[in-house]
Structures are given as structure tokens and as C-alpha cells.
Amino acid sequence: MKYYSLPADFKNETIDRYVQLNENPSYKGSKVIETYGNITIGDSLGSGRLVRQMPGVDFLDLHRYIEYSKERDIGFNYTLNSPHLRNREFTIEGAAEIKRFLKKLYEIGVRSLTITLPSLMELARSCDLDFEIKASTLCQVNNACKAQALKQRGVDKIVVEEAINRDFHRLKTIREAFGPRVEVIVNQICDQNCLYRMFHYNMISGDPAGTTNQVGIDFYEHRCVLQQLRSIDNLMKLCWVRPEDIKYYTGIGIRYFKLQRRHTFVKGGDPVRTVKAYFAESFDGNLMDLLTMFARLTGFTVFVDNKKLEGFIKPFVEKENFCRYDCTRCNYCETFARESIDLEKAREIAAMAKDFIGDYDSFKKMIYTQGTGTPAPGSPADHNVEFDIG
């Protein structure tokens, strides 16, 4: 059996559609077992997403949603996966505030938490409530030693770091060290070696009140687009798992899978359509649409023919250390990129992205004008990004 964790849009009709999938005999080997998320109204702790990019939900909304889900045999996991709490947990007042918050969550039916901070894990255990604790992907569990250390500290489930999604040898050793409750994120669009990743999470996680300005949001989102489109093969280096490749993960004992993108719901994201493709273990279309849950997050989406990526993952499965993270000595990803991407259209999209970000990047405009009198740069060249699409 394969078990899926889905982002919550807090709509009863979505839960009903998950139930229909769970009961469909065509997908008897797969099941949605939980949704996850957090309140955005009255929250003081934050999570791994910007408040302004998620649905407005308060304690009452959450309580009603949990009750509806529970009646239909679908659980709920509350995300407390901020990588920092501004050290509030180390003060008497802060610890007391957090414990009150946790007890309130318990009272409305929360029994499962996703947590990043070890201090918060201990604090949650001190409440003497039967919370199940899942270690967030932000814990960067990327080897068996880390997995075992978390197990020894009472963690019930771990989400592995997405950067190792294609390191099957390492995933297998983690699974053997921790046990069966190891979860892999399948629709990740981060680069395996993204230099912005943790800093981006720090920025968005420290904002439970939703006060982060557009400059900060633009900084990371724009640079993510630039990084993806800088070279044709970069789209192959994202941490995604195709529906067709789920079988390789179950083959090493992985049974739990997670889909991200809860921030896409305000832009039309469709979690049911997305998980249905993973249930079917087949998808005919643009892989990038699947990864974003069919939401249009930017106007710079390259079409990557999912079916033409058949066989891409096999060397990673069959050969230990197949990828040595040295792209100067290997063109494997580029070969598959050329087969699955229309190069001419990709060049056009890359050029548009470069022009747009060059003209509208608010961070560069701010740092070049604030207190200096220097005109803000307006040309794409000011980003010093050379695109190599084919």
C-alpha cells in the first residue's frame, strides 16, 4: 500500500473527492491518509509558507475541517515546521505561550504535528499529550545517522530532505535505520543544490503575521525562476518524482509520499487532479504543471513532456553514486532535456523571464537607489545571468 499526505485547502468537497479516490477499485494500492496545514488567522508560530499565499483559516475553521475529515477516515497533520521561533521557546513566557497553543490544537482534534526545531519537539512532548511527531524535510534528514537520532528522540515519522530523492542507496539505508514511516516529497521543484533554499524558508517561516513585504517575496521567487531557466538541463535537476517512478521507491521499502504546494490554492491549484496522477502512476502532459498542481504561478513555464522522461531515473536506481554533482563532467540531464523540451519555445520563455525580472526586480531597485542616488538598473544584463537554453 502507498500512503499519501496532501496539502489542505480546508474544503469539505476536496475531502469527499479524496474519499472517492480511496474507494476507487482502480487505485486499491494507494490511499490519501491525511491532509496538512495550519491556521493563518490568529497564528503566532508560523510554518513553512507565507500567510498571504494561503487560505484564511482560524481555529473554528480548522476544528470543523478536522471533524469532517475524521468522519471520513482522513487524518490531519498540523504544520509547525518553521526553522526558527526567534528564540521564544527559550523564555518562560514564550514556552508557556507555545504550550497553550499546542493544548488548544489538541482540544480541537489535532493529533499529529510536523516540526522542524528539536526544541519544539521536546516542548510538544512536555505537554504530556499523545501527539504524533513528524520531522519536517527542513530537518535535512539526508543519512541514516540523522534518521536514527530522530527515532531515538521519539520522532514517529520523518520526511527526508528532497535533495536526496534520487540517491536510492541513501534512501534505503534511512528506511532500514528508521523503519517504515519514511516519507518522500514527490512534486518538489527546488534545485537539488539550491543555494537559496534554507534562507528562503527562514524568510517565509518567520512571518506568522503576514507582514513580509513584496521585496523579500520577489527576491527568492525571481531568483528561483532565473535558476531554473538558466540552462536547459536545470529542469532535470529539480527534486521531482514522476508518477511512473513511484515503483522504484516502493521497491526499496518507501510507502509514504507527500505532495507540496499548499500555497497554490489561491491560484487555482488542484490537489485532487495531482494525486490522481500519482495513484494511476502515469501522467501524459507537462511535468511542470503536475509539480505546481496545475496552478499558474508564473508566466514562464516551460513544457516538459513527462512521457519522454521514461527511463531517466533508472541509472540512479541501478548504480550507487550515479550522480556525483559535477555537471562539468556529465551531460546526462542535458540529453534528456533535449528529448523532452521544445528548445525554441524554451529559449523564448527564458528570454521573457530575464527581461521581466530585469525590469521589475524590486530588491535590485531598492539596493541601487536607497541612499545612493544611483538609478535603478533596468536591463536584464544587470542580473549577470547568462542563459544557455540549448
Model pLDDT for residues 134-144, shown as the tens digit of each residue:
999 999 999 99
Using alpha carbons, select from 118, 246, 272 the residue that is nearest to residue 185: 246
Is the pLDDT confidence value at 384 over 50? no
- Cα gap 242→274, rounded to integer Å: 11
Whole-model pTM: value is: 0.89
**What confidence score (pLDDT) does residue 385 get?**
40
Q: Which residue has the higher pLDDT, 225 or 317?
A: 317
Is the pLDDT confidence value at 378 over 60? no
Query: Which residues share a beta bridge with 7?
Result: 36
C-alpha separations of 40 from 54, 62, 93, 251, 254 in Å: 7, 10, 22, 38, 32
Mean pLDDT over the full length of the chain: 87
CB proximity list for 367: less than 8 A, separation 6 or greater? none
Is the pLDDT confidence value at 285 over 70? yes
pLDDT band at 117 (very low <50, low <70, confident <90, very high): very high
**What confidence score (pLDDT) does residue 206 get?**
58
Number of C-alpha atoms within 13 angstroms, CB side, residue 348?
A: 9
| CA trace torsion 99, 104, 105, 106 (10° rounding) | 90
User: DSSP assignment, residue 253?
Assistant: T
What is the grid cell recorded at 176?
A: 532500514
| Per-residue model confidence as pLDDT tens digits over 274-283 | 999 999 999 9
Q: Which residue has the higher pLDDT, 55 or 58?
A: 58
Residues 186, 210, 54, 352, CA torsion sign: negative
**What confidence score (pLDDT) does residue 356 get?**
77
Q: How does DSSP assign 173-220, residue by residue?
A: HHHHHH-S-EEEE-S--SBTT-SSHHHHHHHHHT-TT----HHHHHHH
| Residue linked to cell 541612499 | 371
Mean pLDDT for 45-57 is 70
C-alpha separations of 358 from 41, 229, 231, 349, 350 in Å: 35, 14, 17, 14, 12
What does the domain layout of the chain look like in residue ranges? Answer: 2-213+238-296
User: DSSP assignment, residue 13?
Assistant: H
Question: What superfamily does domain 2-213+238-296 belong to in CATH?
Answer: Aldolase class I (3.20.20.70)
User: DSSP assignment, residue 341?
Assistant: B
| Residue linked to cell 520577489 | 218
Q: What is the 3-state secondary structure (H, E, C) of 263-282?
A: HHHHHCCCHHHHHHHHHHCC
